[in-house]
Every structure is written in C-alpha cells, then in structure tokens.
A and B are shown apart, each in its own frame.
Chain A
Amino acid sequence: MSVLYVLQPNAILNKVHEAFHVALQQEDGTWKKQAVPAQTVEQVVLMGNPQITGDALCYALELGMPVHYLTSFGKYMGSALPGYSRNGQLRLAQYDLYHDRDRRLELVKAIVMAKIHNQHLILYRQKVKKNPLKQRKKDVKTQTTLDQVRGMEGLAAREYFAGLSSILEDQWGFKGRFRRPPTDPVNALLSFGYGLLRVQVTSAVHIAGLDPYIGYLHEVHHGQPAMVLDLMEEFRALVADSVVLSVINTREIQCNDFTESLGAYRLSDSARKTFIQAFERKMTDEFKHPIFDYRCTYRRAIELQARLLSRHLLEDIPYKPLMLR
C-alpha cells in the first residue's frame, strides 16, 4: 500500500476507469500524463492546490482512501474522508470520559508522560545526557489537576527545545519553538513535519471511529480537533522531530534550501520533496511494538494507538501510549 503525494500546484488528478491519471505540467509547458495504480494507493495528499476531478474524488472515497489537503507550506487544511465507522457507542463513551474528572486526568497524565518520555529519548539519542526531562516525567505523576499537567507539559517542552537548540549548529539559528510564522528554518521544518504527521493521525482517528473534536488534553474549543492533537503528542518527538534532526544531520537539507518572506521561512520545492521522502522513510520504518510485541511500521502504530484508545473507552482496557526505549 502506498501514499500518493501530488506537489505540483497545477497538476490535475483524474480517473480513467480503474486508474488515476495525473497530468503534470513540464518545464516546457507541455503536459505529461502519468498513470497511478489507484487500487494500491492508501492515501492521497495534495499539497499546494492541485486539481482533483469529482470523479476521482468519489472513486478515492469509494475505495476507502482519504484525500488530504495541505498548503505548500505543509499546513494542514482539511481532508475528504470516506464514510468510515459510525460507531455511536464509542462516541458516547468518548463524551463520558470527557466529563469523568478522575479517569480523564489519568489518561491525560499517561499521554503527557509518554510525550515527555519520547522527548527525553530523542535528546538521549542525540547525546544530551543532562536534561531535566526525566524529573519532569516523574513530576507529572503527582499533579492533581489538568491545568497542572498542562503546565508541566509546557515546561518540559521548553526544556526539550532548549536541549535541541544546544545540539544544532549556530548556522541554523534555532532558539526555541516558534510557530505562526516559523521564524527560522528549523521551525519551518518542524511545522512541516507536524503538518504531515497530523494527516496520518487524522485518518487514524477517523478509521477508529472517534470524534476528532472531543479531546482530553487539548481543550475543546473553536473547531480545534482536540482528539487528533492528543493522539499526536506521543508521535511528535518520535516521528516528526527525529525526521527533522536526521535530515539536518545527514545534510540532506541545508540552510540555503530556505527562502524568507515577511519573517516566515519556507522550503524550496526540491527540499520539500527530500523532506517528504525522509518522512515517508520514517513512517514505513519498522520497529518492535513494546506492547503488542510484533514488528510494525510507524504508520500502523498510529492506527493501533487510535484503536487502543477506542478499546480503552469501550472496554476499559488500560491505554498505554507508545513509549520507545
């Protein structure tokens, strides 16, 4: 199963019988048609805004294939999702837990601890031995309210990004996490990575039949898909951050791949391709799952976590976030 990315803004994706045809404009202005075996595609990600015909869109949904829209910066815009599970019971259970103070707190703690654990792991792999994250992880356990847990998470995040900035060379000018707009190349890469990750988590949440807008760690307000953001926390460091560090360390992406406009940094087209390739390499990387004890890819792991959470909601199986060693 593969993922189809269309990066060219004036490409046209249409359907010819069972296959997709993508018309790409060449440098000399002519159009080249390329057939894509639609049946073996799992997801479509459209960046910039390539055209997709209604026919092709319906066919994708019929095959159970979500179509995600991203801006060329990698910011997540939205998705067209196939009519997956309409599991009413699960959603009721999801709302119940939202109002259940104690169980909710327990779940939020588990998520935050996993996040801090994974951040520690990334720093540890980069040989930042002295960092306070282990202590922060312990502290989370003793907190008694949601806001305190959130505060701990914020502190840990600040320390984590400080740790990252200490290992990146000065030329990158990374001083901490800044979003909207990313004020340096590394932040631009991070935002891009999180955008790509969010695509994966969104489809996992829909596959599991969860309501994306009811979350536990992230507050429910103005159309923020709190559940998606909650599930993402475990994977931010493991997937997106580690991809960013690896493309920087292997010099696949360098400082001159970026252009600045109005204080925001953006990637060049070729570097964007490189980054997506690195990201996909990561997503199809296999590791031994610590709970289920078999080899799985990160893409599969995200879906597993969403399913595990729905089992937690329905059958009270303890939710164990993904923590790697």
Chain B
Amino acid sequence: MNTLFYLIIYDLPDSKAANKRRTRLHRLLSGYGKWTQYSVFECFLTAKQFVMLQHKIERLVKKEDSVRIYVLDAGAVKKTIAYGSEKPRQDETIIL
C-alpha cells in the first residue's frame, strides 16, 4: 500500500474550550501517527486513512484554531535532517 508522509502541526489558543479541543486533537492524532514534539505529529498514511483523518480534524477544529498539514513524498522524507531525535521512519513492526 502506498503511503505518504503527513506532518501535522497545530496551535490552539489558551482558553478552556480550546484546551479541551487540543487534548481531543492530540488523542485523535495519536491514533494515526507518532507524537514527536509538543504540537507536532508525524504520520505515514494511505490516501484513504488520510481522508478519514482530514474529515475528523475538520469536524473538530474551530475558526480560531490553526492546524497545518504538510504532505511529503518518499524523496522529501529521505532528505529530512533531524538533530537530537530520530528521522521519521515507518514502523513495520511494533514489538512491546
């Protein structure tokens, strides 16, 4: 299955309702990818999975929130530079 790399960054204001939304968004994104920085998720998703995620994000966020999604292909992921953490990589197996 062909997957693309989706870099998802969010910034939600500091109000009671937005805090709640942020937690919800965090939990939503945990289901799709890896939490790498405080408001950054890295996801390897197929087209179908991404459409589902996009739909869910759109239903959740309000006007004052900001969510940015960068779509990168394999070539761009390969050229990623990371200091102090691992480069993004698709987990084939998770052994716990």
Q: Which residues of A contact B (CB under 8 A)?
A: 1-8, 11, 16-20, 22, 24, 34-41, 273, 276-277, 280, 284
Kindly list the 10 A-B residue pairs having the minimum CB-CB distance in the complex, ordered from nearest: A18-B31, A19-B30, A19-B31, A17-B27, A280-B93, A35-B30, A5-B95, A4-B94, A39-B32, A2-B91
Q: Kindly state the interface size class of chain B when it binds its partner.
A: 20 to 34
Does the CB pair B24–A17 fall under 8 Å? Answer: yes
Q: Which residue of B lies closest to A11 (CB)?
A: B96
Does the CB pair B49–A40 fall under 8 Å? Answer: yes
Residues of chain A within 8 A of B94, CB atoms compared:
2-5, 36, 41
Residues of chain A within 8 A of B96, CB atoms compared:
4-8, 11, 22, 24, 34, 36
Does the CB pair A40–B44 fall under 8 Å? Answer: yes
Does the CB pair B1–A37 fall under 8 Å? Answer: no
**B36 CB → nearest A CB, Å:** 12
Residues of chain A within 8 A of B40, CB atoms compared:
none
Q: Which of A2, A3, A7, A37 has the most CB of B within 10 A?
A: A37
Residue B81 at the chain A interface, CB threshold 8 Å: no
**A32 CB → nearest B CB, Å:** 10
In chain B, positions 9-41 with a C-beta closer than 8 Å to chain A are 24, 27-28, 30-35
Does the CB pair A17–B28 fall under 8 Å? Answer: yes
Q: Which residues of B contact A (CB under 8 A)?
A: 1, 3, 24, 27-28, 30-35, 43-46, 49, 52-53, 56, 90-96
CA distance A39 to B28 in the complex (A): 10
14 other A-B residue contacts (CB within 8 Å) besides A16-B27, A18-B56: A2-B92, A2-B93, A5-B96, A7-B95, A18-B28, A19-B27, A19-B30, A20-B31, A34-B96, A36-B94, A37-B32, A40-B49, A41-B94, A277-B95
Task: Show 19 residue pairs from A and B whose CB-CB distance is below 8 angstroms, ordered by the A residue.
Answer: A1-B46, A2-B91, A4-B93, A4-B94, A5-B93, A5-B95, A6-B96, A7-B95, A17-B31, A19-B27, A22-B96, A24-B96, A36-B96, A37-B31, A37-B34, A37-B43, A39-B52, A41-B94, A277-B95
Does the CB pair B33–A37 fall under 8 Å? Answer: yes
Q: Which of B31, B33, B90 has the most CB of A within 10 A?
A: B31
CA distance A40 to B33 in the complex (A): 8
CA distance A16 to B3 in the complex (A): 24
**A49 CB → nearest B CB, Å:** 14
Cross-chain contact of A273 among B27, B30, B49, B95 (Cβ < 8 A): B95
Does the CB pair A277–B30 fall under 8 Å? Answer: no
**A239 CB → nearest B CB, Å:** 15
Residues of chain A within 8 A of B34, CB atoms compared:
37
Residues of chain B within 8 A of A7, CB atoms compared:
95-96
CA distance A19 to B53 in the complex (A): 12
Given the known inter-chain contacts A37-B43, A40-B33, A40-B45, please indicate yes or no for A284 contacting B92, CB distance below 8 A.
Answer: yes
